[in-house]
Amino acid sequence: MTRREELEANLTRVRARIEAARAAAGRQDQVDLVVVTKFFPAADVRLLAELGVRRVGENRHQEAEAKAAECADLDLVWHYIGGLQSNKAAAVAGYAGVVESLDRLKLVRGLDRGAAERGTPLEVLVQVSLDPPGAGHRAGAEPDDVPALAEAVEASEHLRLRGLMAVAPLGEDPAAAFARLAEVRARLVQDHPHADRLSAGMSGDLDEAVAAGATHVRVGSAILGSRPAVR
């Protein structure tokens, strides 16, 4: 099997999973696939684009910036899904079409400046933590901090608030975590009706995420294969 055939077969399987979950949930709306290409080369991104992928996700600034430059001729939207440093935020806005990992106020100004320099509005999702309060959590704003972050994005000329992103905590039933996420989303949409996107679900839990209303799933290993353990 060539790499292209492998990616095509995996994409077909993942798209069928998304479709089955969407149908089972009785949803009429669309669920978009963001293929997470971190650790994999630009050559894979190119094959994915040929296979109809339009959204790709990356979680490290240097790697993402280099790959986006190598693939500048392709019609792709880059989703930045990783931890952000405030001194890199403006640079991320230089290539990302969507930043999914805004989790603190400090990042807003840099993202806005980067989007202004690029001359294109930047779509932003607020990353919310689904870990129990007090847990040494991985990333994401506490649910109570989401309204202030949303206001700060709305107040930024070059940013467009589009919704929320979350990762289900390890060691918990993802359906329970995504149910909490759906509540946070319902509150956000009351104040910001256009911020109705929900990025949730990865290779292992996309089915539960779609059942809980995800409009974007972020899938890496189920399409590209397992990532190297260390880098």
Ligand X SMILES: *Cc1c(COP(=O)(O)O)cnc(C)c1O
Binding site for ligand X (CB under 6 A): 36, 38, 59, 81, 167, 202-204, 218-222
Could you give the C-alpha distances from 154 to 73, 112, 123, 213, in angstroms and in order?
A: 31, 11, 11, 23
Least distance CB 227 / ligand X (angstroms):
7
Q: Where are the beta strands (DSSP E) in 18-84?
A: 32-36, 55-58, 77-80
Instruction: Give the integer Cα–Cα distance in Å for 71 and 32.
Output: 21
Indicate the residue among 63 and 116 with the shorter CB distance to ligand X: 63
Q: Which tokens hold the place of 130?
A: 């689904």
* CB nearer ligand X, residue 135 or residue 155: 135
Of all residues in this chain, which one has the CB nearest to ligand X in the complex?
A: 220
Residue with Cβ nearer ligand X (158 or 221): 221
Q: Closest separation between CB of residue 217 and ligand X, Å? A: 8
* Nearer to ligand X (CB atom), residue 12 or residue 120: 12
Minimum Å distance from CB 58 to ligand X? Answer: 9
Nearer to ligand X, 38 or 185 (CB): 38
Distance, first Cα to last Cα, the chain: 27
CA distance 64 to 143: 28
CA dihedral 119, 88, 35, 143 (to 10 degrees): -100
26 sits in the region (left: phi over 0; alpha: psi -120 to 50; else beta) called left
Nearest distance, CB of residue 59 and ligand X, angstroms: 4
Name residue 99's beta-bridge partners.
Answer: 80, 124
CB of 95 to ligand X, least distance (A): 17
